[in-house]
Amino acid sequence: MRSVGRRLFLSSVLTGRGASSRPQAGTADIGFPTGRFDGKLWAIAGKLQQEDIAKVKRAYMMFFDHIKYRKQWETPPFTAEQVEELFDEGARMVVRIRLLLDEQSTEAKLRQVDGNAQVFLHSNDAPSLLRQAPREFLVRLVHSTFQDARGYVEGLDKAVVSDLIAEMMAYQYNPRCHAWHLASALTHDLGTARIGSEPEKPDVGTLLTQSNYTTEEQDKKWHEAMEALYKAAEKVRAAIAGSAKPAPPS
């Protein structure tokens, strides 16, 4: 999916607008992030490779290459256009989860690209879910990708995969959770940032009269960062207050 199309897609989901084929908030109860993974799925977002996403998506698209459709013995229950965005979203989730698994274990892994997804796509559930609950279709697609004929693979189970999907969906579909993740990321960045040398151990007498940074330049940079944070905090508080529901009349 092109970047512009993806931005429009995410915007349509967050605002509740968009075509019925796109997953809408509230169409499936998948739970809420447990915090078990501490946002690691988003910390590795920069490692996503488009070629890996495209590989999984192509494997999903092989559904339409089944001999019964190629020979026109049967008509597919849905079109490639109807599932393209969902396949793209599913592929991104799968690649992100696999990156997390690779970080947790460096052992060599033999993976079937789309796992057991073809079984789900050829099931009677897939067409009805696509029409009635596309978000649930997406969830089932990702779950099936981490299964084979015997069940879940790579030490995963239904609960773990559900937690991982919930973390990704909460970030993507829930603006409140999205804001929380951004705030957490900023806190992490501040904790690891180094502007010049680190301050020495605070001394109360020194702090009452001057900064505990060793140079004026270091002190100035951190004061600028602090000022920017205060201004940003004021805007965020104003936005929260503006979106808050008015109190009911007493």
Confidence (pTM): 0.60
| Burial 128-157, CB ≥16 within 10 A → b, else e | ebbeebbbbbbbbbbbbbbbeeeebbbebe
pLDDT of residue 30: 39
At 121-175, the pLDDT tens digits run 999 999 999 999 999 999 999 999 999 999 999 989 999 999 888 888 776 666 7
At 50-99, the pLDDT tens digits run 899 999 999 999 999 999 999 999 999 999 999 999 999 999 999 999 98
Q: Residue 44: which of 7, 88, 96 has the closest Cα?
A: 96
Half-sphere exposure of 154 (CA within 13 A, CB side): 24
Count Cβ atoms within 10 A of the Cβ of residue 17 and give its class: 0-12 exposed, 13-18 middle, 19 or more buried. Answer: exposed
- Pairwise pLDDT comparison (216 vs 79), residue with the higher score: 79
Q: Under a CB-based contact definition with an 8 Å cutoff, are residues 134 and 76 in contact? A: no
pLDDT of residue 127: 96
At 217-244, the pLDDT tens digits run 777 877 788 888 888 888 888 887 876 6
